[in-house]
């Protein structure tokens, strides 16, 4: 069948099913009932609702019903089809030799349910299952809609949606009491259409379900011939004929069964078609070679199995006249099995990459035994017990501790035990039933513990790859690390079939920046990531193809990408689970720490042991620095305890107590993405200064050290009251570069934003000096590239707080200031994507170089956040959402969140344009537009 035709049919069927479900809901509560159930084969009364019309008239189980409303009791006859609730209905009943005529007043289905709930027992259960019937139809429609939305171009998803929609629309209207009143109220064409649709849906569910089983998974196997695909519809034709013929008789006010060669075929034929679907899935499973498709087929089989068993069981109960209790049991099984089966059915269709059944069962148990789930389940009997005790608050203690409360306590106590011992229980279940996943988790945790306790990067890298290979069985995996210049990631060790030559990955590229934004592993094949990766430059997309990467685990050193674990697809073709990714994240974090430690010990080029000769060893620093881990105070190398809080001191690697005989380091102020900031005293002038010590790998080579010195000189030339002053710079014997800046006493702008939206006047009082400082830097040819609230300090003054712009550490030149600085502009190392993701301009995210308009975009985000009290992207933190917000999704205008003048809103909106050329020509123009 043409996919476009299936789409059209889905839409038409969905609308029609909604109409039928609404008709069902309209008539649900008002359907008439006489308060008893009877067998249509031998006319015997099966059960009587206590307190109902039949019970009040003396009708009892075992009596024979000869006629109702003048119509003889028979299969598919509906004597109450044209009866209203409240109407008097004559019933002829026989008990032994005694025959009598009784006039019963029909009650609504809602009244009967209330009576059944009061009666308790099987009748209460039956009443509850009756309430679930309508939500079940809505559930099926919802799943069908979800399939069409999530997999709009997939043939299997559309066929599955047709199956679910058909189930939701199959009501068998001719069997419902009181439905004649609804049909009589409709125009004749509309009534006929409802009957025709009911017959189509009733037969269509079984036919489409078997058709689906014959072709799934269509993208992985040759579809069966058209002849086989038409067989399900031919087999289901008797169900349509019977349903349609009976429906047409009802339109002619005939409540008897249609005169057909067959009768009541819905249940037996439907059962056979469901069993045929299971057989088709089993046959396709045995012939399928694709491992992932086999898992999906198996899951579909297990999804259909419970519902098929429940449906066939209900048919047997009715056919063998097993009694009311069995009938209630069949109804009770039908609802949860149908809901569970349909959910698994939809999941198997939507998920392209599937875990095996054991993993799915294990994850289900983990969710079921999660503390939150258990507490939510336990709250239900607790609420029931509380309501019971309140309703019986005047009863004796003996009554309160027996009967219903005892049942509640029997439910609550095991749940309490499970909550208390859930971790050992999960561990025992893992060891007993899920040994492979249990062993994999232990192996990865073992790797983490090995790395945490070691410092030999060479040996640890080999051990890590070996253990990951044993635990997760990827087709290939490799470990990548930055080269000596820190410009490229190159592959070191590799395992598996991905050992062919692959190009390096640029550290300044878009992909590296995305990986640096978060330490979460990046799943290349997830639906959220796919859209994001399509925006990568062609060279980086080629890199992903050449490495055949499935999962990328970043090794972050102070939020910078220092290395990368690249994993291929698993040999089982299963996706990596959330638990796998979390363990790999932990492993990556520990590897990154070891990598950083190795860099401090030796030249970066020797981390992998591939250099031809050893790097020069740094001079021993005798003037070591001891640090208090609690308050950050710094002491000389011979100190052992903090004078302030008596904490044991820890050594601060690579930083001396005295820097170049000029600065005494006294306290750690904080750590950031590029290094650490210390408070120090300049000995000659006896003034406080702030010293920023950069990570060693940022100046790990002579070329990078030269670049750092040039940039430091350029930024030091900037003179503006709102730009922090740089006094000095240099490189420590340990290889760390440092900048000496004026010390500022105050809080960052982030603290002000956190306190809530700011009024326009004070907000502009902060923004104006900042914008003037950035504009001055731009005129001097310097772009900041990392503007954010954390890099704006509000310095405490006598009367107010003065803003100062910090951290030009990522700054780059946009135009030559002199012959010496011109090389900086052309340096490849200063290009690429840098900055903080939440404040990054769209063009920078796309891999273009940052210019003054990128700073303007960041400043507009800060202005928005300052006035509105929150970022225009909200609190989104996941990578895909943030990138979409910057590059695709229109941001909510600030006037929609806070009352600001129109010109302010227009200025911010323009500065936040997705296209750089649509923004203001300069930050100065943006400031003028703000007013």
Print burial letters for 771-788: b (CB count within 10 Å at least 16), e (below 16): bbbbbbbbebbbbbbbbb
Q: Where are the alpha helices (DSSP H) in 65-187?
A: 109-119, 121-150, 155-169, 179-185
Give the pLDDT confidence of 417-432 residue by residue, as tens digits. Answer: 666 666 666 555 555 5
pLDDT score, position 776? 92
Give the pLDDT confidence of 341-366 residue by residue, as tens digits. Answer: 888 888 888 776 555 555 555 455 54
Q: How many Å apart are CA 917 and CA 627, to the nearest integer?
A: 49
Contact 104, 36 (CB under 8 A): no
β-pairing verdict for 88-95 and 505-506:
unpaired
- Segment 869-886 shows an average pLDDT of 76
Show Cβ contacts of residue 192 under 8 Å, excluding neighbours closer than 6 positions. 248, 251
Q: How many Å apart are CA 931 and CA 920, to the nearest integer?
A: 14
Query: In the numeric block, which tokens belong to residue 355?
Result: 């875990």
Q: How many Å apart are CA 108 and CA 113, to the nearest integer?
A: 9
Q: Classify the C-alpha dihedral 575-579-581-583 as positive or negative.
A: negative
Residue among 750, 877, 852 at smallest CA distance from 843: 852
Instruction: State the pLDDT confidence band at 265, using cuts at 50, 70 and 90.
Output: confident
Q: What burial class does residue 463 get, using C-beta atoms within 10 Å of its C-beta: 0-12 exposed, 13-18 middle, 19+ buried? A: middle
Percent of the chain with pLDDT over 90: 18
Q: Which is higher by pLDDT, 24 or 737?
A: 737
- Segment 260-275 shows an average pLDDT of 83
Contact 327, 318 (CB under 8 A): yes
Q: Is the pLDDT of residue 830 over 50?
A: no
Average pLDDT of the chain to the nearest whole number: 77
Give the pLDDT confidence of 282-311 residue by residue, as tens digits. Answer: 988 888 877 677 778 888 888 888 888 888
Based on C-alpha coordinates, what's the Rg of the chain?
Answer: 37
pLDDT score, position 299? 83
Instruction: State the pLDDT confidence band at 371, using cuts at 50, 70 and 90.
Output: very low
Q: How many Å apart are CA 624 and CA 636, to the nearest integer?
A: 6
Print burial letters for 438-459: b (CB count within 10 Å at least 16), e (below 16): bebbebbeebbebbeeeeebee
Q: How many Å apart are CA 683 and CA 923, to the nearest integer?
A: 39
Give the pLDDT confidence of 391-406 residue by residue, as tens digits. Answer: 566 666 665 555 555 5
Query: In the numeric block, which tokens belong to residue 438?
Result: 């249990």
Q: Which domains does the chain have, with CATH numbers?
A: 1-354 (no CATH), 374-424 (no CATH), 437-606 (3.30.450.40), 625-742 (3.30.200.20), 747-930 (1.10.510.10)
Q: How many Å apart are CA 920 and CA 913, to the nearest integer?
A: 10
Extract the runs of DSSP E, i.e. beta strands, from 527-654: 551-557, 560-567, 625-627, 634-636, 650-651
pLDDT score, position 353? 59
- Segment 510-520 shows an average pLDDT of 81
pLDDT score, position 324? 62
Q: Is the pLDDT of residue 613 over 50?
A: no
Please give the backbone phi and psi of residue 71, each rounded to the nearest 5 degrees, phi first: -110, 135
Contact 304, 341 (CB under 8 A): yes
Q: Is 98 helix (H, G, I), strand (E, B) or coil?
A: strand
pLDDT score, position 826? 25
Give the range among 46-60, 77-91, 706-720 with minimum mean pLDDT.
706-720
Residue written as tokens 């709930």? Answer: 117
Its pTM stands at: 0.50
């Amino acid at each position: 069948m043409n996919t476009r035709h299936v789409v059209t049919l889905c839409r038409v069927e969905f609308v029609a099913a909604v109409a039928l479900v609404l008709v069902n809901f309209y008539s649900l509560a008002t359907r008439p009932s006489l308060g008893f159930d009877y067998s249509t084969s031998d006319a015997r009364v099966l059960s009587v609702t206590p307190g109902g019309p039949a019970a009040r008239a003396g009708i009892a189980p075992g009596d024979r019903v000869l006629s109702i409303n003048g119509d003889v009791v028979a299969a598919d006859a509906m004597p109450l089809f044209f009866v209203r609730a409240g109407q008097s209905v004559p019933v002829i009943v026989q008990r032994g030799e005694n025959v009598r005529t009784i006039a019963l007043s029909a009650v609504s289905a809602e009244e009967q349910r209330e009576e059944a709930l009061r009666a308790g027992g099987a009748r209460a259960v039956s009443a509850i299952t009756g309430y679930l019937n309508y939500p079940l139809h809505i559930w099926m429609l919802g799943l069908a809609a979800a399939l069409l939305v999530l997999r709009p171009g997939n043939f299997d998803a559309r066929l599955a949606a047709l199956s679910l929609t058909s189930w939701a629309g199959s009501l068998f209207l001719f069997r419902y009491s009181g439905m004649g009143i609804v049909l009589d109220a409709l125009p004749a064409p509309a009534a006929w259409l409802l009957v025709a649709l009911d017959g189509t849906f009733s037969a269509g569910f079984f036919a489409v379900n078997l058709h689906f089983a014959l072709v799934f998974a269509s993208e992985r196997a040759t579809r069966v011939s058209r002849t086989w695909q038409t067989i399900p519809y031919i087999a289901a034709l008797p169900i349509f004929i019977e349903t349609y013929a009976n429906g047409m008789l009802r339109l002619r006010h005939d409540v008897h069964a249609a005169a057909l060669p067959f009768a009541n075929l819905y249940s037996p034929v439907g059962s056979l078609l469901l069993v045929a679907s299971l057989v088709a899935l089993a046959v396709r499973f045995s012939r399928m070679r694709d491992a992932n498709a086999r898992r999906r087929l198996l899951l579909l089989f297990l999804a259909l199995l419970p519902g098929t068993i429940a449906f066939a069981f209900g048919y047997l109960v009715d056919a063998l006249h097993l009694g009311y209790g069995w009938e209630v049991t069949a109804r009770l099984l039908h609802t949860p099995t149908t809901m569970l089966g349909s959910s698994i059915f939809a999941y198997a269709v939507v998920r392209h990459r599937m875990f095996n059944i054991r993993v799915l069962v294990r994850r289900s148990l983990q969710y079921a035994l999660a503390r939150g789930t258990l507490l939510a389940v336990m709250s239900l009997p607790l609420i029931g017990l509380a309501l019971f005790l309140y309703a019986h608050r005047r009863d004796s203690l003996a009554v309160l501790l027996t009967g219903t409360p005892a049942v509640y306590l029997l439910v609550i106590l095991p749940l309490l035990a499970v909550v208390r011992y859930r971790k050992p229980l999960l561990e025992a279940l893992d060891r007993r039933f899920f040994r492979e996943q249990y062993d994999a988790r232990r192996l990865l945790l073992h790797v983490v513990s090995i790395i945490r306790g070691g410092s030999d990067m060479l040996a640890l890298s080999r051990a890590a790859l070996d253990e990951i290979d044993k635990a997760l069985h990827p087709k290939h995996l490799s470990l990548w690390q930055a080269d000596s210049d820190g410009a490229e990631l190159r592959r070191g060790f590799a395992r598996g079939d991905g050992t062919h030559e692959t190009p390096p990955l640029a550290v300044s590229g878009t992909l590296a920046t995305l990986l640096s934004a978060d330490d979460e592993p990046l799943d290349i094949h997830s639906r959220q990531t796919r859209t994001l990766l399509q925006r990568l430059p062609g060279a980086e997309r080629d890199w992903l193809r050449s490495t055949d990467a499935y999962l990328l685990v970043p090794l972050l050193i102070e939020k910078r990408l220092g290395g990368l674990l690249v994993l291929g697809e698993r040999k089982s073709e299963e996706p990596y689970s959330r638990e796998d990714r979390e363990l790999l994240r932990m492993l990556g974090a520990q590897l990154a720490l070891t990598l950083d430690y190795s860099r401090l010990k030796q030249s970066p080029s020797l981390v992998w042991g591939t250099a031809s000769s050893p790097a020069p060893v740094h001079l021993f620093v005798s003037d070591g620095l001891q640090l208090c881990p609690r308050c950050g105070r710094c002491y000389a190398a011979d100190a052992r305890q903090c004078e302030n809080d008596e904490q044991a001191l820890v050594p601060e690697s690579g930083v001396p107590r005295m820097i170049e005989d000029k600065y005494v380091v006294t306290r750690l102020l904080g750590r950031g993405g590029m290094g650490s900031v210390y408070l120090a005293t300049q000995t000659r002038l006896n003034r406080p200064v702030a010293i920023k010590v950069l990570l060693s790998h940022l100046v790990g080579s002579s070329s990078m050290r030269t670049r750092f010195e040039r940039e430091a000189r350029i930024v030091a030339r900037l003179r503006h009251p709102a730009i922090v002053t740089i006094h000095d710079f240099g490189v420590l014997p340990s290889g760390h570069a440092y900048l000496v800046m004026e010390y500022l006493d105050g809080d960052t702008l982030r603290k002000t934003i956190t306190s809530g939206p700011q009024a326009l006047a004070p907000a502009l009082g902060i923004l104006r000096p900042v914008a003037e400082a950035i504009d001055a830097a731009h005129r001097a040819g310097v772009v900041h590239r990392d503007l954010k609230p954390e890099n704006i300090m509000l310095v405490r003054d006598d009367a107010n707080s003065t803003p100062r712009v910090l951290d030009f550490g990522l700054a780059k030149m946009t135009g030559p200031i002199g012959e010496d600085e011109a090389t900086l502009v052309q340096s490849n190392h200063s290009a690429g994507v840098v900055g903080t993701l939440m404040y990054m301009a769209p063009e920078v995210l796309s891999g273009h170089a940052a210019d003054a308009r990128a700073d303007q975009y960041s400043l507009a985000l800060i202005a928005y956040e300052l006035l509105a009290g929150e970022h225009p992207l909200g609190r989104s933190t996941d990578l895909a959402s943030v990138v979409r917000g910057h590059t695709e999704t229109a941001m909510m205008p600030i006037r929609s969140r806070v009352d600001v003048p129109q010109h302010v809103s227009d200025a911010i909106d323009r500065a936040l344009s997705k296209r750089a050329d649509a923004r203001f020509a300069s930050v100065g123009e943006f400031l003028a537009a703000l007013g």
